[in-house]
Chains A and B, each alone.
Chain A
Amino acid sequence: MKLSGAEIFIECLKAENVDTIFGYPGGAVLYLYDEIYKAEERGDIRHILSRHEQGAVHAAEGYAKSTDKPGVCIVTSGPGATNAVTGIADAYMDSVPLVVISGQVPRALIGNDSFQEIDIVGITRPCVKHNFLVTKIEDIAPTMRKAFYLATTGRPGPVLVDIPKDLTNPDVYKTEFKYPKNLKMRSYQPTIVGNKRQIKNALDMILKSKKPILYAGGGVVSSRASKELTEFGRAFNFPVTTTLMGLGTYPSKDKQYLGMPGMHGTLEANRSMHYADLIICVGARFDDRVTGDLTKFSPYAKVIHIDIDPTSISKNVKAHNPIVGDVKQVLGTLLGMMKDQKLKPDLSAFDNWWKDIEEWRAVDCLSYDQGDDEILAQFVVEKLSDITGGDGYVSSDVGQHQMWAAQYYKFNHPNRWINSAGLGTMGFGLPAAMGIQLAHPDEAVSCITGDGSIQMCIQELSTCKQYDLPLNIINLNNGHLGMVRQWQEFFYEERYAQTYLKSTPDFVKLAEAYGHVGVKIEKPADVEGALREAIKDTKRLHFLDFITVAQGNVYPMIPAGYGHNEMYLNKQDAIDDMKAKTKK
């Protein structure tokens, strides 16, 4: 039977077991939406209507990051597609498997500056894993197959498929639907299994080291290798640090866990990175927010770098032992080798190293003093972590609240912490939380956000109402763009250029206007009650507007250009440092 392009599109989604898609309709995708309508009627597919295309893409990201499925979204041509670009770039930076379908003007109009025409394939080229412009109806199915294959294999990423409107018109073209079963691409063969000799070599390097550190990142989440990572870490009694992308891949409450490294990492994680003689990097990429000044980074360490993407290896930090492969496979091989050799590592081998680390840990760099008057953001996050036992799903936006969430929420499992790390997209948190909640309807999903970020995709509160998503919005409201303000305080002599939001809305009324529960919390004593109330309510969204200290700062902090042994633990450190500098 011959099918229209739009019908083929639906069949492709079914073939890929897609049950939920996110999107926003428009002229160029009318035929596709006509079939989505029918597919929804049949119960084949659920379409989630966002209020802005950026929201649709972030929701698809949240859906993908919290499950083992790719996120799928559909947008119209022109502005629909350009609105999706931020989300696509975000997915690219954080390696989120995403298939984005954009409508395009009919082929006859391409290149004519037609209404709502934009070269979205050209625009997104630098921020997708790959993209396609479909030029004939017979290509729709094979292209969709390739798109899903590329998005989900190797290092995952977003793939965009641009489909001209005329190809989906049932009155113009129809063709047989054939979905390619086996797909082989001569130009795309990611390396999955690591080189055995390199892995053996890694084992030798580990046994020779005296001050190792296990540094894990988002690759462990993508590869679902949390179990292997934990087993590996415990087998050697390694100190473990996980990046912003890797939180939860190693249990936060474990005594070997040192917290996050980098600009706002813990003292113990950063000192350990600095003084280590061996860094075992697993699915992380030595991002500049982790390394700081590369010339000062980890001067004594040899580096073992395990990553599925060869370009991540020796890009920023030279790897002495590069191992290209899927993290789960490589760690599995390594653990297998240990079993074969009946290798039982001496758990006291790093005792001296641990003694140093415990001294750094004793500084208790994340301690804070919650008084009775003003709420500290740190306190709110810590309470949330306690109440949910570190097992809740948490999305976050970008800024100070994001760092506090990363520092104070103790994640026990991977795929629970969903944030925008690489691109740092304000506005990510709320739509991402929607995607998570839709994937996990019975779980508590919290969005930790700030008064700046939440307003960047605030329109999605309307989507939450439409689909009855009982999110807990934790708005750490300090009336400022806190992170930028913090930098202005330290490095721009307290000239707070455009970082004070003088007309922040009444979030309680705003939440109510959208049909949700809005609560304003101003006293530390009321924090726990409000959180418990919100989490208990599995029917309605609670927008908790926590009025927090206006000019709080995120500590510890490594200023740009500083080494991991030079951190600010508090404001006094920063002031002293500034004074010393001006004297010079």
Chain B
Amino acid sequence: MRHIISILMENETGALSRVSGLFSQRGYNIESLTVAPTDDPTLSRMTLVTQGNDASIEQIVKQLNKLIDVVKVMEMSDYQHIEREIMFVKVAADNMEACASIKRMADIFRANVIDVKNKMYTIEVTGRPDKLDGFLETMVDHKVIEVVRSGAMGITRGSNALKV
């Protein structure tokens, strides 16, 4: 099963490699990983998407907590939460038909064309990762040049919060 794990950790050099190293050492897979400092500059927040059964997720959460730089771990899947990912897609728009079709799909997915140059459209899509997958599927008939995805991030609904 797919799980989203959010991690608050000390914003120290090496903290990221401790987490990514843990996953490779222990043979856990990482689907996506995104990290940046929080409003408190001494803390970084990481969101990690992984696959596993309940026992292996329990072990992953415990192992993460054991890392000295990790302050708090939250398994988002245990809570009502919102999940988003951002994606840029660069796609060839070299004839009228393609331009229209790509623009129409972007509108349907509430995506934005953020750059047009040299017969290229660059589209920004935001949403749950499966929505991003869905948008990419609609692009199969077009010439997709480049795709960049941020990896998922999540936040709980309501008063639950991952905070120190």
Q: Chain A interface (Cβ within 8 Å of chain B)?
A: 121-122, 125-126, 129-130, 133, 150, 185-188, 309-311, 314-315, 318
Q: A186-B71, A186-B164, A315-B59 are in contact. Are A309 and B66 (CB under 8 A)?
A: yes
The binding surface of chain B is classed by DSSP as: helix
Instruction: Kindly identify which residue among B21, B55, B69 contacts A126, using a CB–CB cutoff of 8 Å.
Output: B21
B14 within 8 A of A: yes
A187 touches B10 (CB 8 A): yes
Residues of A within 8 A of B9 (CB): 187
Instruction: Kindly identify which residue among A122, A311, A314, A318 contacts B66, using a CB–CB cutoff of 8 Å.
Output: A311
Residues of B within 8 A of A129 (CB): 68
The 4 closest A-B pairs by CB, nearest first: A130-B68, A187-B71, A311-B62, A310-B62
A314 touches B58 (CB 8 A): yes
In the bound assembly, the distance between CA atoms of A314 and B14 in angstroms comes to 29
B65 touches A126 (CB 8 A): no
A125 touches B14 (CB 8 A): yes
Q: In residues 46-100 of chain B, which contact A (Cβ within 8 Å)?
A: 55, 58-59, 62-63, 65-66, 68-71
Q: Chain B interface (Cβ within 8 Å of chain A)?
A: 9-10, 13-14, 17-18, 21, 25, 55, 58-59, 62-63, 65-66, 68-71, 164
In the bound assembly, the distance between CA atoms of A311 and B18 in angstroms comes to 16
Q: A125-B17, A125-B21, A187-B10 are in contact. Are A311 and B68 (CB under 8 A)?
A: no
Q: List 13 A-B contacts (CB under 8 A).
A: A125-B17, A126-B21, A130-B68, A133-B13, A185-B68, A186-B71, A187-B9, A187-B69, A187-B70, A310-B65, A310-B66, A314-B55, A314-B58
B63 touches A187 (CB 8 A): no
Which of B9, B66, B70 has the largest number of chain A CB atoms within 10 A?
B66
- Nearest Cβ distance between residue A98 and chain B, in whole angstroms? 15
Residues of B within 8 A of A188 (CB): 68
In the bound assembly, the distance between CA atoms of A188 and B10 in angstroms comes to 11
The chain B residue sitting closest to A313, CB to CB, is B62
Q: A186-B164, A187-B10, A310-B62 are in contact. Are A125 and B68 (CB under 8 A)?
A: no
In the bound assembly, the distance between CA atoms of A310 and B70 in angstroms comes to 15
In the bound assembly, the distance between CA atoms of A304 and B77 in angstroms comes to 28
Q: For chains A and B in complex, what number of residue pairs have CB atoms within 8 angstroms? A: 37
The chain A residue sitting closest to B65, CB to CB, is A310
- Nearest Cβ distance between residue B62 and chain A, in whole angstroms? 4
- Nearest Cβ distance between residue A232 and chain B, in whole angstroms? 26
Instruction: Kindly identify which residue among A122, A125, A133, A311 contacts B63, using a CB–CB cutoff of 8 Å.
Output: A311
Residues of A within 8 A of B70 (CB): 187
In the bound assembly, the distance between CA atoms of A450 and B87 in angstroms comes to 61
In the bound assembly, the distance between CA atoms of A451 and B56 in angstroms comes to 42
- Nearest Cβ distance between residue B124 and chain A, in whole angstroms? 35
Residues of A within 8 A of B63 (CB): 311
In the bound assembly, the distance between CA atoms of A279 and B9 in angstroms comes to 36
In the bound assembly, the distance between CA atoms of A150 and B59 in angstroms comes to 22
In the bound assembly, the distance between CA atoms of A314 and B62 in angstroms comes to 11
Residues of A within 8 A of B14 (CB): 121, 125, 133
In the bound assembly, the distance between CA atoms of A304 and B100 in angstroms comes to 66
In the bound assembly, the distance between CA atoms of A126 and B9 in angstroms comes to 18
The chain B residue sitting closest to A122, CB to CB, is B17
Residues of B within 8 A of A186 (CB): 71, 164
In the bound assembly, the distance between CA atoms of A309 and B18 in angstroms comes to 18
Given contacts A125-B21, A186-B71, A314-B59, 13 further A-B contacts (CB under 8 A): A121-B14, A126-B21, A126-B25, A130-B68, A133-B13, A133-B14, A185-B68, A187-B70, A309-B66, A311-B59, A311-B66, A314-B55, A315-B59
In the bound assembly, the distance between CA atoms of A150 and B17 in angstroms comes to 20
Residues of B within 8 A of A122 (CB): 17
- Nearest Cβ distance between residue B19 and chain A, in whole angstroms? 11
- Nearest Cβ distance between residue A160 and chain B, in whole angstroms? 12
The chain B residue sitting closest to A129, CB to CB, is B68
The chain B residue sitting closest to A121, CB to CB, is B14
Residues of A within 8 A of B55 (CB): 314, 318
In the bound assembly, the distance between CA atoms of A298 and B41 in angstroms comes to 50
The chain A residue sitting closest to B72, CB to CB, is A187
Residues of A within 8 A of B13 (CB): 133
In the bound assembly, the distance between CA atoms of A310 and B71 in angstroms comes to 16
- Nearest Cβ distance between residue B61 and chain A, in whole angstroms? 9
- Nearest Cβ distance between residue B110 and chain A, in whole angstroms? 39
- Nearest Cβ distance between residue A319 and chain B, in whole angstroms? 11
B68 touches A150 (CB 8 A): yes
- Nearest Cβ distance between residue B8 and chain A, in whole angstroms? 9
In the bound assembly, the distance between CA atoms of A126 and B13 in angstroms comes to 16
Residues of A within 8 A of B71 (CB): 186-187
- Nearest Cβ distance between residue A112 and chain B, in whole angstroms? 18
The chain A residue sitting closest to B68, CB to CB, is A130
- Nearest Cβ distance between residue B119 and chain A, in whole angstroms? 43
Residues of A within 8 A of B17 (CB): 122, 125
In the bound assembly, the distance between CA atoms of A582 and B84 in angstroms comes to 58
In the bound assembly, the distance between CA atoms of A114 and B57 in angstroms comes to 42
In the bound assembly, the distance between CA atoms of A188 and B71 in angstroms comes to 7
Which of B55, B62, B65, B71 has the largest number of chain A CB atoms within 10 A?
B62
- Nearest Cβ distance between residue A64 and chain B, in whole angstroms? 20
The chain A residue sitting closest to B42, CB to CB, is A186
- Nearest Cβ distance between residue B72 and chain A, in whole angstroms? 8
Residues of B within 8 A of A126 (CB): 21, 25
Residues of B within 8 A of A311 (CB): 59, 62-63, 66
Residues of A within 8 A of B164 (CB): 186
Q: A121-B14, A122-B17, A126-B21 are in contact. Are A187 and B68 (CB under 8 A)?
A: yes
Residues of A within 8 A of B66 (CB): 309-311
In the bound assembly, the distance between CA atoms of A129 and B69 in angstroms comes to 11
In the bound assembly, the distance between CA atoms of A125 and B58 in angstroms comes to 22
In the bound assembly, the distance between CA atoms of A530 and B21 in angstroms comes to 51
In the bound assembly, the distance between CA atoms of A185 and B59 in angstroms comes to 23
In the bound assembly, the distance between CA atoms of A188 and B17 in angstroms comes to 18
In the bound assembly, the distance between CA atoms of A129 and B18 in angstroms comes to 11
In the bound assembly, the distance between CA atoms of A375 and B93 in angstroms comes to 86
- Nearest Cβ distance between residue B12 and chain A, in whole angstroms? 9
In the bound assembly, the distance between CA atoms of A126 and B14 in angstroms comes to 12
B18 touches A125 (CB 8 A): yes
In the bound assembly, the distance between CA atoms of A188 and B65 in angstroms comes to 9
Residues of B within 8 A of A121 (CB): 14
- Nearest Cβ distance between residue B67 and chain A, in whole angstroms? 8
Which of B13, B21, B59, B68 has the largest number of chain A CB atoms within 10 A?
B68
Residues of A within 8 A of B25 (CB): 126
Residues of A within 8 A of B65 (CB): 310
The chain A residue sitting closest to B13, CB to CB, is A133
- Nearest Cβ distance between residue A158 and chain B, in whole angstroms? 13
- Nearest Cβ distance between residue B48 and chain A, in whole angstroms? 17
- Nearest Cβ distance between residue A143 and chain B, in whole angstroms? 12
- Nearest Cβ distance between residue A251 and chain B, in whole angstroms? 33
